[in-house]
Each structure stands twice: as structure tokens, then as C-alpha cells.
Amino acid sequence: MTAYSSQTVHRERVLQNHLIERLVAGEGYEQRFATTDFDRSLAMDRALVVRFIQHSQPEAWDKLVQHYAASAEDTLFTQLAKALKDRGLLDVLRKGIKIVPGIHFSICYFRPASGLEPKRLEEYHANIFSVMDEVEYSQKHGGRLDVVLFLNGLPVATLETKNLLTGSTFRHAERQYRQDRSPAGEPLLTFKRGALVHFAVDEDNVSMTTHLQNGKTRFLPFNRGRDGGAGNPDVDDEFRVAYLYRSGEWGDAIFSRSVLLDVIGQFMHLEAAGKSEAMIFPRFQQLDAVRRLIGHAKANGPGSNYLIQHSAGSGKSNTIGWLAHHAINLHDAADKQVFNTAIIVTDRVVLDRQLQGTVSQFEQTSGVVKKIDGTSRQLKDAIAKGARIIVTTIQKFSTDHLREISGQGNRSFAVIVDEAHSSQSGKSAQAMTDALTREASSSEDIEDLIAEYQRARGPQANISFFAFTATPRNVTLERFGIKGTDGLPHPFHLYSMRQAIEEGFILDVLQNYMTYKAYYQLEKTIEDDPQLSGRRGQRKVARYATLHATAIGQKVEIIVEHFRRHIMGELNGQAKAMIVTQSREHALRYYFGVRNYMETEGYADLKALVAFSGDLELDGETYTEADVNGFSETELPGRFDGFKPDGSPYSETYRILIVAEKYQTGFDQPKLCAMYVDRKLASLQAVQTLSRLNRTRPGKERTFILDFQNTIEDIQNAFRPYYEDTTVEAMSDPNQVYDLEGRLYKFGYLDRDEIERFAQVYFKGPLGGGDRARLEGLVRHAVARFEADDDEGRQEEFRQLLKSYNRFYSFIAQVIRLEDTGLEKLASYGAWLSRLLPNREVPPEIELTEDMLRLQAFKVDQKEQGSASLSPGDTQALKAISEFGAKEYTEDERKELSEIVRAFNDRHGTEFSEADMIRFEQVNREILDEDLTEMLRNNPPDVVYTAFAQAFFQGAIRMFQRDNEMRNIVLTDAQAREKATRHFFNRALREARENAR
């Protein structure tokens, strides 16, 4: 670091001078002088503009001189200034300008993807980087900028630098930009026309903005991160912000030729934001992630896996888009293309549409991005024709169209996975790998075919996976993580929840947490009732108490009064809240309770909405969400926000949204300032639910949570694994797959010879109708042995172990190249057996009435109040996969099933029992492959319900082919069908999410 005398060390220019010296000495910048080289009226270095054009494009320059003679230079700058004003600097740098009679001038040259054309490399190196300090930019006053960086004479970045030893920080620099750097009438500072980005810098921290708007200017941190949080790490013999101007262990400097030209050429873009525009400059973690990922792939080629743990608020969609465009242009040291195609996949239907739009806006050459918004045939054609970037949902790979693809093994793919959870060990992920690696087989030996099928599950040399998530599960870490010195998997790149909070990109939702405890006393009017004894009876009694009008009434009073006292005035009176309940019935009773309380108290300025799926029978009446709210379900997000799609306001303002599962995840409403929780939350569900509050908005600085069910310790335990670097305690033991295999055979239901015969048919090739009948016949032998067992406990244990085996085997086979075809045979056989096993019987319903129980007393007391926020280092590792167990029916499911049976019989004069209705569970087992299960797990219920309902309807018709009475009801009675579909949808949804590992 440059040495300074004691007389000058405190001067503001210490960092400024050091930065300039490093750029000139280390990064090839030319130092220029504002007093002689800067044209304030044009905001450019005219001499360098001319020098760049004359040296890099002599023929075009000669043509200009020939045509315009002595006015050639003035003509150039007149047209350049006009282009800057009309199109903006970014577009001019990328596309150049044209001057009559047809003279094209490039204003800069970007690095070519390949080095096979020496002329392109010469052009790239012809770019002139220069720096000026103390730039007096204004024609109205003597305002100066500390440092301005130029590219070929045009300003690309300005900097205000501060010295911590004088007590001035980057915050003072931000204030200077806001208060003393008005862009009005100043070409250098004008949005789009002037410099692309403005940095506020001191020795420790950096922030940046692309749009100066006086007091409204918003600066974003541009720091590397420090020990899992905000800030920058120490650097030996340097300032912490050395990454701006000096290349080092962090890679090339931000202001280096390679990085700055890459940012201008492939990262920056204009984004429409309503009626205005926003200039997007990558935040540090976005830029660093893309460059590190691309650097590793360049050095190692395809075949690696990468886990990118980036918190909410990190701009993940933009990072994914930039990565895809960089991947398809990547060449290795031998100038060979690394990836032929980038495929962006998600299992979230809504996010798929958002990603398609984001990735397309980076497209500079028409036709590069193929958005698969139609059928799987469209996806098949895109892959077969070698599309460069494909954006699709993972589910589209699990179709017959994709099974026709082969011969892709000689092409390489960058598969970019959005929200990488356990879906990447499922059927759809396997189908995707098959499509991208499948080759025509030359062997007819079944063992060879099975071995090849098993090998295709594992790592593939022609596919690199880039997996993004804010909350990696244990399987995600093991599947995509990179092993550290501790032998455990870690993210390749991290932008933690803690850093996002400390940098202000998201809010800390745990900052104001209050818990309540409900106490109730029940009078048992029927003594020693066996139905009310035991664990199940106790849960039923507890649910009875939570649904009681007195209980809900007391909680409603606490909620509404808290909202009025602490929340209502936030965001200039626009703040909103969410009440999270434990069931649809709870949600609706809460809604009526809130509505009635507000009417009784005369709170006409408060209105509530409720969100629940399907029909709901309550106290003899049937309700739907649309009927209760007074408008369709699709309108709810807009109505709750308060504005129509055209931006005009609705006449009514709703402040509170009451939910049960629906909108609990995947719902973004930045005006949410409070959440009232009346359901048990655990693990990832707690993080995803409470994170509905973390979205930022101008004026939103704090959030509130009142919790009637969980303790502060419960919630902290849920957040700890995801607060910083998510880790696992240990790698899952792959030998557990043999433990599970052995346990399955001990039941006596499985026969090895039948499984072998099954495999001989299943793996020989495309299955015809006769093949399917033969396979089902083989599996039915095991079903018969299962049904002959009178021990329901053993049956249920077998069901769950069989599911666990298939999930665990699918996961392990993707992590390790297995060489035991017996495991593959059992997995394929087990998938069929799971679908054909009869469902367990639902225990009889306990109907509680006031004759059996009376609520004698109920009270709610406040227990804890304060911050539940986690501290640096307050983390907890995830557990490895080791437990395999069964899930019980819930009270809600039992009650709802009784209602469905009653509704069927009342409407059609039938005498169906609950056992009859449980046959629908077989439909679930048939349709719930891993593809649909992952859709249920990772999408909001209202988004995925339509796909489930279609599959359920078709499955029900197949199931009841020989039962005319049930089949006719399913075909003709839409209301009855909807009741059954909704019930088994909720069953499937719960099982999918609770079985997530």
C-alpha cells in the first residue's frame, strides 16, 4: 500500500489517490486530467474518443473525413451526443453509432467468446480505459466528483471516496450524491445518458446506484460479505475495498478490463418498472457467483455440480439469467465450447413464467432463448434442434415425447435449477437426465440394460447442474454441494440470510416476536368415554377447544387491537397483516370472528379477507372463498394489495388476510407488516411461512409476529440451519439402502423370483398393453400376501418403508454410481407395488358435541416478548437422512372424509361407507408419481390444484370401471367430485410436504 506522511494521512484523498495509482499501475488505465481533457458540455474526453476510433477503425474514420472534411470531428460529436441523449450510453457502447452516408462506428469492443478470430481480440485490446480525479462536471457551479472512470473517452462510473480516519464514511458519500449532485441539466449525471453507475466508497465499504434522483436516490451495498454477514474481509497490506481496483485472491478487479467490459456487455440492462425504467447493475454477490461458476466450468468442463445458496432478496432470477447467457458463450482454454445448451428448470409454475421473462430480457440476439410455454413436444423439438437457452418446468421431461429423444450424449448441457429441493432426486429429474444422455442400446441382455439404466441415474459427464436455493435441504446439499476440508458438502457460493438482512435487502422478521399461551378447562359430561382417552382423543379435545367461539373470540380481540394499536399506521396507513391458522375450518371461523368483532366495535375502517380452497361446510352451510369474499379467487392478491392491474385503486381497502396453507408460501406482498400465527410451524415450513414478512418497501423498517402456538425457541431452531452457511452434521450413509432392502424382505410380502420376472418385462423396452397387464399380475401376488396379513401395524410399516426405499434409492443413485442391479429392480417393482397396495382404514370419526364436552373457562396469556433474532454464528447443522417413519391421519382429514361420505349418500341415496370412499386413496397412489408430488411440494396449492384435479379425475374413472354407481357419480356430479378431489388433494399435499427430506 502506498506510504503517506503523517501530515497527509488524514486527508480525504488518501483512498482516492491510492485507487488511481493502482488502476494506472496494475490495470492498464491511462491517467487523464479534468482541467485539460474533460469536456463538461459533452461529459466526455473528446481526445480519447477520437484516438480510439482512429486507431481501431481507420477506414471508417478516413471515410468520415472524406465526406465531411474539416467538420468531421464536430459531426462525430454532434451525432454521438444525440445518440447518447436518445438511446443512452449503454446502448451506444453496445451498438455504436451511424453517420450519413452509412458510416458505422463502434464505441467499444467486447471480449469475443472464442479466441479463434485474432482480429476480434485485437479490437478488444484496443479499448482505452482512463481515469480522472477532481472532475468539475457542472456548467452551473463548481461541483466536483472525486473520481470518474472512462471507457474510450466516455464516462462509465463515478466515485465519491471518503477517509475513515477523518470521520467520513461511504454514508457521507451517499449523502453527498443525494444532496449535492443533482442530475438536472448535468450530462455526466443524467440517467441513461451519463455514467452508468455511481459508487460511494470508503476504505471498508462500497455502495452503488445507477439512478441519481436527489433525495430519492437508493444506494445498494456492493460488498463481498464478511464472516457470513455484511461488510468486507480484511486484506493484507491493503484496504478492504481493494477488490474494486486490484486483482487478487478474489479474482479480477471490478474495474479491470475483463470485469468492467463483461458487466457492460453482458450484465447491465434496462428493466421496465411500471411506467419508469431501472438500470440494473449486478450486485457483488450476483457478479461474483456468475464469474466464479463460469471460471470453474471453464477450467473443469461439464460434469460438475454446483449449489448456490442465495437468500431471498438476492436477485436470484437475474443471476440465473446472466449465468445462462454466460454458459452458452463459454469456451475452454483450447477454445472448445463448454456447453452447447443451457436449460433452466423449475418445479414452480408461477416462477417458470417469471424466469422466462427475466432471461429473455438479457437476450441480445433474437431466437437464443426458447420459452417452453406450451406442450412437452415443444421442449422435445427445442432440445433436438439444439436450442441455446431453454426455459421450462421440470415436469415437462416426464412425458412420452421426451422418451423419444436419444443421441444427446455427445452434446453438453448446463442445467440451471431454480429452487433446488428434493425434486432433483425425483422421477422428473431422472427423466431429464435420460433425455440428455440417452443413446441407442446395442445390447439385448436385460442385465446390461438395467445396469445402463442405473448408471444413467448417477453423475453424467456431459451435464453440469447449477442448483439455486435459499434453504437447501440435506439431500440438496449432498446432491449438489462441494465437499470441504471437513469432508462435508457446502454451497459453492453463498449469500446468506444474515448478510441479506444486514445489508437491508430483506427484513429480519424475528425482530419483534410475541408469544401467547392458551389455557382452557373442559367439563367432561360423559365420564370415562373411551373415545376421549388416549392420544387421538386428546388431540380431538384440543381441536374442539381451539375451534370454540370463546377461544377464537379472545384471540381475535388480541389480534385486531394489536393491529390497530401497532400496525395500522405503518407505511402511511397502508400496512397489512396475515393470520395463519391450522385448518380451513379455523380460517373461516377466524374470518367470521374478525368480521363480527370489527362490526361490534364499530371499526368500519378495517376489512378482512379469507383464503381457502374448495367448498367448506360449516354449521350446516356450505361456503367457498369466492362467496365469502364477494369476488373470484384469482382476484384476491390484487384486491388485498388494493390496486387493479391497470394501477387504479379498488374502492374497498382490505387490511387483514386469513389463511390456512393457501398463500402461506409463495405469496409476495411487501405491505405485510405483521403476522398472527395460530398453528404449529416446524423446520422449513416455519421459515417459508414467516418469510412472507421479509419483503422490503420504502418506509417499512420493522415487522411484528404474534404467535399463539410456537415458542421463540421453536422458531429460532427452525431458522438456525438457514441463517448462514447451511451444513449437514454428516453425510447420509448410503448403506442404509441395503438396510431398507433387508427390512422389506423380512415382511414376507416380496418374492425375489417375481421381482426378477417383473424386471425381465419392465426393462426390455417400450411397454405394450399386454406387458402392463403381465406386470400388474406379477405385482398382485405381493398385494394378495399383504392383504392376507391381519396386522394393520405391520402393513402400515411396510407401506412407509417401501416409500422410503424408493425415495432413498433414487437419491443415492444420483450421488453415487451404483453397480447393483438388484437395487434398481426392487425400485422399479416397488413403485408399481406402492400404487397397488390397498389403503389403510381410517379410524372411526369421533363426533364431539356440547353434550360430551363443555368449555368451562378459556384464557390467553402473553408469555414472551422481544427479539427472536439470531446472532452471528447462531447456526445449526441439518441432520443426515436416517429416519424412515409413517404419517398418521389428522383430525381434519377424518372429519372431512365423514362429511364427504354423508354428502355422497344424501345427494344420491347411496349407502357408501368410509371404507368405500377410501378406495379413492388408491387413485392417489396411482397418480402421485414423484413428478406430481414435487409439484405439490413446491407450488402454492391454488397453482397446482388444477393439474392434480385433472389427473385425479382420470384416475378415478379408471379405478371405478367396474363400479357403475361410483363411476356415474364421478362423471356426472361435479360438486360431489370436487368434494372428493379436494379432500384427497389435501391428503396428497400434506404427505408430499411432510415427507420432504
ω into residue 101 within 30 of 0, thus cis? yes
CB 46 within 8 A of CB 153: yes
Give dist(CA 288, CA 305) in Å, integer. 17
Backbone angles phi, psi at 39, to 5 degrees: -95, 105
Where are any strands of DSSP class E within 389-495?
A: 389-393, 413-418, 463-469, 482-483, 489-490, 493-495
CA dihedral 104, 105, 108, 112 (to 10 degrees): 40
- Cβ atoms of residues 764 and 449 within 8 Å: yes
Low-confidence ranges of the chain (pLDDT < 50): 1-6, 8-9, 350-352, 422-423, 425, 526-527, 532-535, 886-888, 996-997
User: Does the predicted model carry a pTM greater than 0.85?
Assistant: no
Distance CA 503, CA 231 (A): 8
CA dihedral sign, ordered 808, 812, 814, 815? positive
Under a CB-based contact definition with an 8 Å cutoff, are residues 694 and 669 in contact? no
Distances (CA, A) of 666 to 309, 470, 474, 704: 18, 13, 21, 20
User: What pLDDT is attached to residue 851?
Assistant: 52
Element (H, E) at 897: helix 891-908
Q: What span, in angstroms and rounded, lies between the C-alpha atoms of 368 and 630? A: 45
Sequence-distant (≥ 6) Cβ neighbours of residue 927 within 8 angstroms: 948, 951, 952, 954, 955
User: What pLDDT score was predicted for residue 524?
Assistant: 53
Query: What are residue 731's phi and psi, to 5 degrees?
Result: -70, 145
Q: Which residues is 418 bridged to in the sheet?
A: 346
Residue with cell string 485507487 = 19
- Cα–Cα distance measured from residue 418 to residue 163, given in angstroms and rounded to the nearest whole number: 41
Residue 724, C-alpha cell as written in the block: 448462514
d(CA 815, CA 459): 7
Task: Compute the C-alpha angle 744/750/754, nearest 5°.
Answer: 140
**3-state class (DSSP) for residue 104:** strand
Alpha helices in 574-707 (DSSP H): 584-601, 625-629, 636-641, 683-690
The CA distances from residue 939 to 358, 380, 664, 912, 944, in Å, are 20, 24, 11, 33, 6
H or E element: which one contains 535? helix 534-547
Residues 6+ apart with CB under 8 A from 945: 613, 985
DSSP at 96: -
Residues 258 and 912: their CA atoms lie apart, in Å, by 73
Q: Give the containing element (helix H, strand E) for 573.
A: helix 570-573
878: three-class secondary structure by DSSP: strand
Helix, strand, coil abundance in the chain, percent, nearest 5: 45, 15, 35
Output the CA angle 106-111-115, nearest 5 degrees. 120
How many residues belong to the chain? 997
Q: How far apart are CA 495 and CA 285, in angstroms?
A: 7
CATH of domain 282-502: 3.40.50.300
- Residue among 927, 931, 934, 972 nearest 950 (CA): 927
User: 11-23 b/e with 16+ CB inside 10 Å = b?
Assistant: ebbbbbbbbbbbb
Domains in the chain: boundaries: 13-245, 282-502, 513-723, 736-836, 891-994
- Which residue type is seen at 118? P
Strand partners of residue 133:
147
Q: How far apart are CA 18 and CA 922, in angstroms?
A: 72
Q: Which helix (H) or strand (E) holds 435?
A: helix 427-437
CA distance 225 to 310: 13
SS3 337: strand
Tell me if 874 sits within 8 A of 719, measured CB to CB. Answer: no
The architecture (CATH level 2) of 513-723 comes to: 3-Layer(aba) Sandwich (3.40)
Q: What is the pLDDT of residue 981?
A: 80
pLDDT at 894: 59
| pLDDT for residue 356 | 59
Measured distance CA(1)–CA(182) in Å, rounded: 34
Strand partners, 305: 465
Q: In terms of Cα–Cα distance, which of 657, 675, 554, 655 is closest to 605?
A: 655
d(CA 628, CA 630): 6
